[in-house]
Amino acid sequence: MPKQKLLNVLSGVAALIVALAVVTLLPFSSSNIRSDLGYSSLCPFAPWSTLTLLAGAGLVWLVRSYVKTQ
C-alpha cells in the first residue's frame, strides 16, 4: 500500500473513532439505564467507553505519525 494512502486510511479511522466517541455521549430517552454521568445516554458505559475510544483514536494517530516519519 502506498504511504500516502495508508496515511489517509489511518486519518479516516481516527476520525471515525472520534465520531463514535461523541456518539456514546448523546442522550437517549428510551433507555432506563443511567450512565455514570447521571443521564440516559446512548451508551450506558459512558464516559468510560468515550475515554476508551479516544485513547484508541490517539493510538491510531500515533501509528500514523510513526508511518509519516518513515
Number of structural domains, the chain? 1
| 28's grid cell | 437517549
Most distant CA pair in the chain: distance in Å?
49
* Contact indicator for 16, 61 with CB cutoff of 8 Å: no
> Per-residue pLDDT tens for 38-57?
888 888 888 999 999 999 99
Rounded to the nearest integer, the mean pLDDT of the chain is 92
| Enclosing domain of residue 11 | 3-69
Q: Locate cell 490517539: which residue?
A: 58
C-alpha torsion 4→56→49→13, nearest 10: 10
Query: What is the reported pTM?
Result: 0.88
What is the length of the chain?
Answer: 70
